[in-house]
Each structure stands twice: as C-alpha cells, then as structure tokens.
Amino acid sequence: MTSLPLHPAIVHLPLGLAFVMPMLAIGFAWALWKGRARAGAWAAIVALQAVLLAAGLVAMNTGEHEEDRVERIVPEAALERHEKLAEQFVWATGGTLFLAGLVLVIRRPAVARTLSLATVLGTLAVAASAVRVGHAGGQLVYEHNAGAAYSAPGQGSPITRTDAAETPSQRRDDR
C-alpha cells in the first residue's frame, strides 16, 4: 500500500464537477423552458448531481480516514473547519440533487420550471461551498503543512503543531 494520501486525489472530482454543474444546469433549464429539450433530458443533470454527491461522500470518507495521520501536525481547529465545510458541501449537494430529481417527477410545467430554477440556484450554492471547502483544504496543505505527515524519514522533518501556528514566511525568516 502506498504511503501517499488518497484524499487529495479524490477531492478534485467533486470540486471540479461542482464548478461545471451551474453551467450545465443553466443550459438544460433554458432548453426545457424554451421547449428545445424534453423533460427526460433533465435526467442528465440528476445523474451528474448524483455523481457529485457520491464523489463528495467518498472525498469526505477519505478525509476522515486520513485525519488521524494529519492531526499530529495541523491545528485541530483548522481540521474541524475543513470538515464542517465538507459536510455543508455534501448536504448542499444532496439538497440540490433532491430538487433536480423533483423536476423529473413533477409533471406540471410551471412547477417543473420553478424547480429547475431552484436547482440552478442550488448548483450555484454548491459551487460557492466548493470554493470554501477547497480553500480550507488548501490552508491545511499550504499554511499548516499537512503534507509533511506523509513525508518519508530523511526528507525533512514534519513540523510540530506549535510550529504550524507560524506562517511559512515566518519559518523562512527565522532560519
């Protein structure tokens, strides 16, 4: 088994898809409203939103699995913030999936249009949530040196939790 973490490799799928979904939802909603697509075409949005939810759950699971190794280095508050934001991301994704699914179930055109608009707004909220959770994850890596938990002996010693409170520029200035 490799000593490299799986979480950083997995998170890019839900984060990337979260940024693509608003554009796709807008395009499909417009096509439905203008009568250029059948209601069944919306199933593509539902399927992609389901993939986004599944990928988000896998990313969250891999993050929880790797938390024990990283928490020796990273301040607990930073880990908890990232975890809380990840949970918000998954809940927003699930709620948006629910709205998208209702578009396929509700056959009244006016209601379906309203639900497709709500889905578009949901995808925008999910994208904003992706920015927040991704930023918090980046802070773990770049400000708190979370990757040091995976460095092999002799490749530089991981910093301790007390050192992690310093910024990278402060560490350079002290040397």
How would residue 157 be classed by pLDDT, with cut points 50, 70 and 90? Answer: very low
Helices (H), 34-167: 43-70, 76-105, 109-142, 161-164
Judged by phi (left if over 0) then psi (alpha if -120 to 50, else beta), residue 159 lies in beta
Angle at 118 between CA 33 and CA 46, to 5 degrees: 80
Residue indicated by tokens 């708190």? 144
Q: Supply φ then ψ for residue 101, to 5 degrees.
A: -65, -35
Q: Mind listing the pLDDT tens digit for each residue in 105-139?
A: 998 999 999 999 999 999 999 999 999 999 999 99
How would residue 5 be classed by pLDDT, with cut points 50, 70 and 90? Answer: confident
55-64, 78-87, 106-115: range with lowest mean pLDDT: 106-115
How would residue 64 be classed by pLDDT, with cut points 50, 70 and 90? Answer: very high
How would residue 37 be classed by pLDDT, with cut points 50, 70 and 90? Answer: confident
How would residue 68 be classed by pLDDT, with cut points 50, 70 and 90? Answer: confident
